Amino acid sequence: MSEPVSALNGASFEGLVTLQDRGPTGMITLRGDLAAPVMAKALDKALGLTVPDTRRVQPAKGVSKGQAAWMSPDELLLILPYGQVSSVCANLSATLEGTHHLVADVSDARALITVSGQDAHVREVLAKLAPVDLHPAQFGPGDFRRTRLAQVAGAFWMPEAGQINVICFRSVAQYVFDLLGAAADPAASVDYFG
């Protein structure tokens, strides 16, 4: 079987910040009653995850590389290594069998771009594109936002200071990459976040 190819195929860019396509990444849309005990059980069993708080991303306990991001009151986005997606989908479906839920593999429907560099610059680049308060007091490590990047839907989270991971739809990956590149023009620094 052929190797999976991401939309940006490993592209990178250096400017005010560094942009890096993260390549094929596992992503699962999980919809259901987030408060139900069976949901907690399914997440724990499949990836050692718990339900994240509102607008937060929750890394897994232990060895699992999975993360759960809050998308809406009845939707999570699970982020995990590409190769684990089908087994995790099956695992989730098995636990949630009989309850109203939806598990969809959306790995290939998305692109994941890492924006890294000076923390203030990373915030600034995103603030040019998204109507989000990126002040450190309002958005820090573990925070997740489902928002808009200029003219398209997008989401991002901050795994640690100086890094923001951006998710968009696959078809507009190049557009988002180009947007971020334009916003990261070294001559266009805003010097707003300190």
Tell me the H-state helices in 19-157: 37-47, 85-96, 119-127
Residues 104-143 interacting with another protein (rule: CB under 8 A): 104-110, 124, 127-135, 137-138
CA 14, 157, 193, 149 torsion-angle sign = positive
Find the binder of another protein among 52, 101, 112, 166 (CB under 8 A).
101
Please report whether residue 171 would count as binding another protein according to CB under 8 A: yes
Residues 6+ apart with CB under 8 A from 181: 13, 15, 19
Please report whether residue 179 would count as binding another protein according to CB under 8 A: yes
Site string for another protein, 66-95 (x = CB under 8 A): --------x---------------------
Residues 4-33 interacting with another protein (rule: CB under 8 A): 4-7, 24, 29, 31-32
28/87 Cα distance (integer angstroms): 11
Give 35: exposed, middle or buried? Use CB within 10 Å, 0-12, 13-18, 19+: exposed
Please report whether residue 1 would count as binding another protein according to CB under 8 A: yes
50/71 Cα distance (integer angstroms): 14
- Smaller CB distance to another protein: residue 3 or 54? 3
Task: Provide the β-strand partners of residue 25.
Answer: none
CA 90, 92, 93, 95 torsion-angle sign = positive
- Smaller CB distance to another protein: residue 26 or 66? 26
Residue 108 one-letter amino acid: D
36/74 Cα distance (integer angstroms): 11
Binding range to another protein, per CB under 8 A, among 11-19, 47-55, 56-64, 174-182: 174-182
Binding range to another protein, per CB under 8 A, among 44-52, 58-66, 158-166, 185-193: 185-193
Binding range to another protein, per CB under 8 A, among 3-11, 36-44, 53-61, 114-122: 3-11
Q: Residue numbers of the site for another protein (CB under 8 A)?
A: 1-7, 24, 29, 31-32, 74, 100-102, 104-110, 124, 127-135, 137-138, 150-152, 169-175, 178-179, 182-183, 185, 187-188, 190, 192, 194
